[in-house]
Amino acid sequence: MLRPADLLAWYDRHRRDLPWRARAGGTADPYRVWLSEIMLQQTTVATVAPYYERFLARFPDVAALAAAPEEAVMHAWAGLGYYARARNLHACARAVAGQGGFPCDVEGLRALPGIGPYTAAAVAAIAFGVPVVPVDGNVERVAARLFAIAAPLPGAKPLIAAAAARLGADAAARARPSDFAQALFDLGATVCTPAAPACGVCPLLAGCAGRRQGIAAELPRKAPKPARPLRHGAHFWLTDGRCVLLRRRPPRGLLGGMSELPGTPWRAERWSTAEALVHAPMQAAWREVGEVRHGFTHFELHLAVFSARVARIEGEGFLHPADALAAAALPSVMRKCAAAVSAPPAAPARGSPRAGRAGRAG
Ligand code: SF4
């Protein structure tokens, strides 16, 4: 029989010490819970922790975040990826500051920018003690195994969510909704792990149908994913030895508002060198110095990286000190391009060594 009280007792002994978590018996700060939940989407705890600490030092509360310029927020976020989240984070902070604090129920939270059903449930349960079970990847896995749900994801999501809600409806879980949600997170992260669940030390072993049926490690099953399409582009490192030319991406859309090296649009066909150099920011002795590969959620990107050193930089954009790129709001894919430039040089660019004056890339 499944006994949520056993999970809570286990949590009291084994809870993880995380920077955004309240102490045992303490009250969670909704700002910290919300911030950590947004950062943790698609990202691991180990990656998020240092970003979270820096972000919190810079924006200690929702009023400070709301009052900050968008550029400062994007800069503090740079490297975490999924930049629409940073823009929504900022918009949400402004909405929350405008209404004098976070709403304390799921519906009110759900109405805020960038807060989906999961995050609304997580903040409501953890910060406000609302008896709901937020279903993230860890909880999905634990619930699928406990109830031996063999139907594949994503179709099985409603079944799994209903199973998690059944678990949360138990009286012990309802008495401690914040701890119960976090106990499920911790069980999934440390015991009921994806490849090798440590059932021998699991507090829910006695009631686990997946374990009983010998299928726990295979769950949750997943429907095969369609292959991600491949896109190609080229970007240009233009320096005078001190500065490098950067430009700002459009405010909306993928990597919106972030800085980047000037480059071509990204498209399905590979760019020939001659085609790519049409998009170079100025005429120069361009050298192809490497290729960068980067995975976005919906597509894979391969970028040719070109480099040139000139006496005087021309072209649209702005100059940034080349030795202080850590301070620029560059997304990870552009940091990879910058790193490719410092790798040993490749052969001169195919085709003409001097590019014609370029138009601007889109
Ligand atoms: Fe996961 Fe095993 Fe515990 Fe079942 S018994 S919840 S499969 S760790």
For residue 225, being part of any structural domain is answered with no
- Point out the domain boundary residue: 172, 194, 218: 218
Q: Identify the residue whose C-alpha is closest to ligand 1 atom 7.
A: 216
For residue 276, being part of any structural domain is answered with yes
Residue 164, H or E segment: helix 157-168
For residue 223, being part of any structural domain is answered with no
pLDDT for 352 beyond 80:
no
Helix/strand/coil for 162: helix
Residues 21 and 118 in one domain: yes
CATH number, domain containing residue 277: 3.90.79.10
Where residue 24 falls among pLDDT bands split at 50, 70, 90? confident
Name the nearest CA neighbour of 215 among 135, 164, 138, 147.
147
Is the N-terminal amide bond of 30 cis, ω within 30° of 0? no
State the pLDDT at residue 347: 47
Residues 165 and 260 in one domain: no
For residue 162, being part of any structural domain is answered with yes
- Point out the domain boundary residue: 168, 193, 218: 218
Helix/strand/coil for 260: strand
- Point out the domain boundary residue: 185, 218, 251: 218
Residues 164 and 257 in one domain: no
Could you read off the pLDDT of 183-224 as tens digits, one per residue?
999 999 999 999 999 999 999 999 999 999 999 999 999 999
For residue 204, report the distance from its CA to the centre of ligand 1, in Å. 7
Quote the percentage of the chain above a pLDDT of 90.
Answer: 81
For residue 137, being part of any structural domain is answered with yes
Examine the residue annotation and report whether 53 is marked as an active-site residue of this protein.
no
Could you read off the pLDDT of 251-298 as tens digits, one per residue?
888 998 899 999 999 999 999 999 999 999 999 999 999 999 999 989
Does the C-beta of 112 come closer than 6 Å to ligand 1? no
Quote the percentage of the chain above a pLDDT of 70.
Answer: 94
Does the C-beta of 199 come closer than 6 Å to ligand 1? yes
Does the C-beta of 310 come closer than 6 Å to ligand 1? no
Residues 197 and 279 in one domain: no
Could you read off the pLDDT of 215-251 as tens digits, one per residue?
999 999 999 988 899 999 999 999 999 999 999 999 8
State the pLDDT at residue 343: 65
Residues 146 and 25 in one domain: yes
For residue 168, being part of any structural domain is answered with yes
Does the C-beta of 168 come closer than 6 Å to ligand 1? no
* Residue from 37, 140, 260, 288 carrying the catalytic annotation: 37
Q: What is the three-state SS of 3-71?
A: CHHHHHHHHHHHCCCCCCCCCCCCCCCHHHHHHHHHHHCCCCHHHHHHHHHHHHHHCCCHHHHHHCCHH
Name the nearest CA neighbour of 173 among 341, 4, 340, 14.
4
For residue 187, report the distance from its CA to the centre of ligand 1, in Å. 9
Let me know: does 354 contact 284? Beta carbons within 8 Å. Answer: yes
* pTM for this model (two decimals): 0.72
State the pLDDT at residue 42: 78
CATH number, domain containing residue 80: 1.10.340.30
Type of residue at 348: P
Residues 201 and 301 in one domain: no
Could you read off the pLDDT of 294-346 as tens digits, one per residue?
999 899 999 999 999 999 999 999 999 999 988 888 999 999 999 999 865 54
- Structural domain count of the chain: 2
Could you read off the pLDDT of 59-115 as tens digits, one per residue?
999 999 999 999 899 889 888 877 788 899 999 999 999 999 999 999 999 999 999
For residue 266, being part of any structural domain is answered with yes
For residue 192, being part of any structural domain is answered with yes
State the pLDDT at residue 360: 30
Does the C-beta of 208 come closer than 6 Å to ligand 1? yes
Domain that holds residue 318: 230-360
